[in-house]
Amino acid sequence: MEKIHSTTVVAVFHNGQMAIGADGQATMGSTVAKSNVKKIRRLADGKVLAGFAGATADAFTLIERFEEKLTHYNNNLRRASVELAKDWRTDRYLRKLEAMMIVADKDEMLVISGTGDVLEPDHDVAAIGSGSMYAQSAALALKKHATHLTALQMVEESLHIAADICIYTNHNLVLETLS
């Protein structure tokens, strides 16, 4: 079975707005398997955004588990994230899942990985996936030098820059915001 390459997901908090976006490409080997995958989800009655990179079925499983944790911990983003990371790292089934997530509410964003990491990114910018370093670099530059842009505009532009460079990222974007 060919390895399914990741995607690009980026989140930016700027001037009181949280924005997250992802491209829509799923790649198997050197073939684009699907060009319009939706990798951003609204959870907790629209108060939490989650974006995933990695194997799609694995990511869907993790999103469902994360949503259960949010419900159980009364939409406390940090607590739900830590509990998911603990389960992900220690549960025999979950441990095999290959994905990463960015989760955010109106106040904070976190990156969750299967190694048990729950990271609060520096400079209010987070990125995961194949094109993450391109998107993160672009978003950081935009935050520093194009402060007139909204968080949503920064996310959109950084994803377009990543798509121009990374062969596993396309220009079919899904963008979401929280204010």
Question: Which residues does the annotation mark as catalytic?
Answer: 7
Q: Which residue from 112, 119, 104, 106 is spatially nearest to 11, judged by alpha carbons? A: 104
Could you tell me if residue 56 is left (phi over 0), alpha (psi between -120 and 50 degrees) or otherwise beta? alpha
| Whether 35 contacts 173, CB under 8 Å | no
What is the separation, in whole angstroms, between the first and last Cα of the chain?
42
Q: What is the DSSP string of 156-167?
A: HHHHHHHHHH-T
